[in-house]
Homo-oligomer: A and B are copies of this chain.
Amino acid sequence: MYKNPIITLLSDFGLVDSYVAEMKAVILSINPSATLIDISHNIEPYNIRMGAYILARIVEYFPEKTIHLAVVDPGVGGPRKPIIVETLKALFVGPDNGLLMLAAEKLGVSHVYQIENRRYMLKEISKTFHGRDIFAPAAAYLSLGVPPKNFGKEVFDYVKPSYIKPKIFKNKIVGEIIHLDNFGNIITNITQKHLKTKNITYGKSFQIILGENKPLKVRFLESYFQALKGEIFALVGSGNFVEISENLGNAAKTLNVKTGTKITFIF
């Protein structure tokens, strides 16, 4: 049905084991013409929020009708439902634990269906690896044009993502660190819109308090290039969140912080 169906894969399976390849093998056995693109398989084990953040970053860049297969699934084998999420632009396949919904809500959720039709699963279903036995075949059959509603009944009480919004006060914003990237950029849940409400424009400075660190004055800059070598500063990252960065360094290491740490901006 699709001429060049793209199936993306995201998981916490890592790149040592064969788990990712087993999912790809299942997909290609059902639809040999699928194009498989890895998003990341280095999500921290069981870290649904990290998976949700990474998945939400990428969906706008993929072509229409892309199928996103995502598996961070600590509840595998338990009562959590396997689901398909239909949006106008893309389809999502994975566990009903919030992982898919941050991304899906960005695109606008049309329908959510439970995957229960055994016809679209592997014959033997393990209790520990639904990525291979249920989710991969579902993604492959979707890429062949099987309509989402054929997989099972519609679900209305799906799990919403536990996404924390920053708290806005008169002279400060209290947010948290949602991700530390490969360059040590500290990505917060605070956006440029939040800074605008506090009249922070490029070139201005404000104070940040990060975990146990003492308050630090940072400039708000437009690019890494504008910072001095080794300077710690704030900028808007490519995912539209405010990041704390160290020019040509690793801010996360220098400031010794972790995902989930509280961050306060004081104006």
Contact = CB atoms under 8 A, between A and B. Distances in A.
A32 interface: yes
B58 A40 contact: no
Q: Oligomeric state, in number of copies?
A: 3
B77 A224 contact: yes
A76 interface: yes
Interface string A30-67: 00110111111111011000000011011001110010
A13 interface: yes
A183 B45 contact: yes
Interface in A186-240: 222-226, 235-238
Contacts of A26: 61
A17 B45 contact: no
Given A12-B182, A61-B29, A222-B77, A238 B126 contact: yes
Contacts of A14: 181-182
A171 interface: no
Interface of A: 3-4, 6, 8, 12-19, 21-22, 24-26, 28-29, 32-33, 35-43, 45-46, 54-55, 57-58, 61-63, 66, 74-79, 126-129, 132-133, 179, 181-184, 222-226, 235-238, 248, 250
Closest 5 CB pairs of A and B: A77-B223, A78-B225, A14-B182, A129-B238, A25-B61
